[in-house]
């Protein structure tokens, strides 16, 4: 039985999807105006952990992750670079998919783009206008009137007074809207938008950010669905506004479980573009860090706890990962007598792991279970109390764990030419011909292979 912390109720709840054994899930995706930093990827790794856990527990999952390819930032920066909006966002979208793959994040079923769903957004705005929940401001923009939605603030746990207090010091009459907290559903065209606009029934302009997610989630998942994820910064106003829009338009409970991840910090501050304290994944890969180590680091702290990023932490993550990889490799060359009690050990650890991840994705416990299993199995191997059949069972259990953790890389095959080069370098090292060994290492790097020497021999990886 899965229990998950729901931001809506601020409680750990028993997870029961609307439809038996089927989960409809929406993850707020990236705004594609640059390459995401690894703080952003903490959000996607957290969503991936939930996605994988649901699959592991036997649910069918339909996962949607949107791409915000039109908003203030994409327009601003595409103009700066004198590019059309789609030409500007294209390389970042491509880069995003490359990063997802490098981080072993399972793909979503659909990655809808905001620019391809304008008519769906207009449709919802028209419903809101008709119901009197939205209105046209003096500036021709269309706003959502938060006073018309009684439950406004239910996710962020803010009452109307707090909302107004937050806006104190701002005089409402300086605005084109009726209430300073009302938010834009549709932004009327201005010169600053250049050639980015849509001519629609509700005027010439472009959508606000929040309406994008209401339109894309309900289009693919229905007016009510199970899970919506994002970082804690999205609780307010983004997700609060999504609820107001969707429930305001459709009169149905929008989302059952809201799940939010905490910050990735750098020296106590949120990693963010604006503070300049960020690493992109490609920054780290260029420094020869392994993308799986980044995944491990982002995964290994519970999603609701803040995580302080350091390069030292990343190295420690790599070491933990190496222990897992070494263990799996060791299992592949076992030659001993089988231990008849080993199946019971496997069953015990499988149960423990399942109960850990089922408890609000308790990753620390789940990893501890796996490392205890590795430790116990290694002791049996050392005592020669472990055979080929046991190794197969152990490997299957590691794969079971990995369906949730995603830390094992599929074995890549080397061409004969490259494998021979590695052998020649090994020989050169044995012969103490370090000059030749170094030369071969450099040649291999040019061919896209990096070598790492370790006590258990040389390892290679593709760049």
Query: In sequence order, what are the residues at sequence separation of 6 or more whose Cβ sits closer than 8 angstroms to the Cβ of residue 345?
Result: 373, 376, 377
CB neighbours (10 Å) of residue 24?
A: 24
Q: Is 271 in the site for ligand AMP (CB under 6 A)?
A: yes
Q: How far is CA 73 from the centre of its chain?
A: 21
Choose among 250, 210, 219: nearest CA to 64. 219
Q: Is the Cβ–Cβ distance between 284 and 37 less than 8 Å? A: no
- With CB under 6 A as the contact rule, the residue among 96, 198, 263, 279 that binds ligand AMP is 263
From CA 243, how far away is CA 430, in angstroms rounded?
66
**Minimum CB–partner distance for residue 210 and Zn ion (Å):** 7
Q: Which stretch binds ligand AMP (CB under 6 A): 162-170, 266-274, 375-383, 446-454?
A: 266-274
Any contact of residue 28 with Zn ion (CB under 5 A)? yes
User: Parallel, antiparallel, or unpaired: how do β-strands 11-14 and 457-462 relate?
Assistant: unpaired
Report CA-CA distances (Å) from 9 to 249, 256, 258, 386, 458.
23, 10, 9, 49, 52
The distance of closest approach from Cβ of residue 111 to Zn ion in the complex, given in angstroms and rounded to an integer, is 13
CB-CB contact of 156 with 244 (8 Å) = no
Query: Which stretch in 51-59, 220-228, 229-237, 421-429 sits in contact with ligand AMP by CB under 6 A?
Result: 229-237
Restricting to residues 59-78, name those near Zn ion by CB under 5 A: none
* Closest by CA position to 414, among listed 362, 450, 388: 450
Asked if 213 interacts with Zn ion (CB under 5 A), we say: yes
CB of 88 to ligand AMP, least distance (A): 15
- Which of 155, 188, 255, 264 is the binder for ligand AMP (CB under 6 A)? 264
Q: Which residue is nearest to ligand AMP (CB)?
A: 231
As a whole number of Å, the end-to-end CA separation of the chain is: 41
Chain position carrying tokens 């302080």: 308
- Among 30, 153, 208, 248, the residue binding ligand AMP under the rule CB under 6 A is 30
Q: Quick check: 270 binds ligand AMP (CB under 6 A)?
A: yes
95 binds ligand AMP (CB under 6 A): no
How many C-alpha atoms does 7 have within 13 Å on its Cβ side?
Answer: 27
231 binds ligand AMP (CB under 6 A): yes
In the region spanning residues 404 to 463, those forming contacts with ligand AMP, defined by CB under 6 A, are: none
Q: How far is CA 13 from the centre of its chain?
A: 22
Q: Between 240 and 393, whose beta carbon lies closer to ligand AMP? A: 240
The stretch among 20-28, 261-269, 299-307, 391-399 that binds Zn ion (CB under 5 A) is 20-28
Cα(254)–Cα(226) distance, rounded to whole angstroms? Answer: 9
Stretch that binds Zn ion, among 23-31, 185-193, 258-266, 352-360 (CB under 5 A): 23-31
Instruction: Compute the least distance from the CB of residue 271 to ligand AMP, in Å.
Output: 4
Residue 42 binds to ligand AMP (criterion: CB under 6 A): yes
Which of the residues 152 through 211 are near ligand AMP (CB under 6 A)? none
**Edge-to-edge strand order for the sheet containing 269-270?**
269-270, 264-266, 307-308
**What are the angstrom distances between the C-alpha of 433 and each of 293, 353, 429, 440, 446?**
32, 48, 6, 11, 21
Piece in contact with Zn ion (CB under 5 A), picked from 27-35, 125-133, 248-256, 375-383 = 27-35
Residue 31, contacted partner among Zn ion, ligand AMP, none, CB below 5-8 A by kind = ligand AMP
Between 122 and 321, name the residue whose CB sits nearer to Zn ion. Answer: 122
Residues that bind ligand AMP (CB under 6 A): 28, 30-31, 39-40, 42-43, 230-231, 233-234, 261, 263-264, 270-272
Residues that bind Zn ion (CB under 5 A): 28, 213
């Amino acid at each position: 039985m899965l229990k998950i912390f729901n931001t809506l109720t601020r409680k750990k709840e028993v997870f029961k999807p609307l439809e038996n054994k089927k989960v409809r899930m929406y993850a707020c995706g990236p705004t594609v105006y640059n390459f995401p930093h690894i703080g952003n990827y903490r959000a996607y790794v957290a969503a991936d952990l939930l996605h994988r856990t649901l699959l592991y527990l036997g649910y069918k999952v339909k996962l949607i992750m949107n791409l915000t390819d039109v908003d203030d930032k994409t327009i601003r920066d595409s103009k700066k670079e004198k590019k059309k909006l789609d030409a500007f966002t294209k390389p970042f979208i491509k880069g995003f998919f490359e990063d997802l793959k490098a981080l072993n994040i399972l793909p979503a079923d659909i990655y809808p783009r905001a620019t391809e769903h304008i008519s769906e957004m207009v449709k919802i705005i028209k419903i809101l206008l008709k119901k009197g929940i939205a209105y046209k401001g003096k500036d021709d923009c269309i706003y959502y009137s938060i006073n018309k939605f009684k439950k406004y603030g239910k996710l962020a746990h803010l009452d109307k007074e707090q909302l107004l207090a937050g806006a104190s010091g701002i005089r409402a009459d300086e605005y084109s809207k009726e209430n300073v907290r009302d938010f834009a559903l549709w932004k009327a065209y201005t010169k600053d938008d250049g050639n980015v606009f849509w001519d629609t029934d509700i005027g010439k302009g472009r959508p606000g950010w929040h309406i994008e997610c209401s339109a894309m989630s309900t289009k693919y998942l229905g007016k009510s669905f199970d899970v919506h994820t994002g970082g804690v910064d999205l609780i307010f106003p983004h997700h609060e506004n999504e609820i107001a829009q969707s429930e305001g338009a459709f009169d149905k409970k929008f989302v059952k479980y809201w799940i939010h991840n905490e910050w990735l910090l750098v020296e106590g501050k949120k990693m963010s573009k604006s503070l300049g304290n960020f690493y992109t994944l490609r920054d780290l890969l260029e420094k020869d860090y392994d993308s799986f180590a980044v995944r491990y680091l982002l995964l290994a702290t519970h999603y609701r706890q803040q995580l302080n990023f350091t390069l030292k932490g990343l190295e420690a993550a790599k070491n933990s990962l190496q222990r897992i990889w070494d263990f799996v490799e060791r299992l592949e060359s076992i030659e001993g007598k089988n231990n008849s009690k080993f199946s019971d050990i496997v069953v015990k650890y499988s149960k423990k792991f399942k109960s850990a991840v089922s408890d609000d994705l308790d990753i620390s416990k789940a990893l501890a279970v796996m490392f205890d299993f590795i430790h116990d199995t290694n002791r049996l191997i050392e005592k020669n109390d472990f055979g080929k059949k046991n190794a197969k069972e152990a490997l299957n259990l590691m794969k079971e764990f990995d369906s949730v953790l995603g830390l094992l890389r599929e074995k890549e095959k080397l061409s004969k030419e490259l494998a021979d080069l590695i052998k020649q370098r090994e020989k050169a090292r044995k012969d103490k011909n370090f000059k030749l060994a170094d030369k071969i290492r450099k040649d291999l790097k040019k061919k896209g292979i990096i070598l790492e020497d370790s006590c258990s021999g040389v390892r290679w990886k593709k760049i």
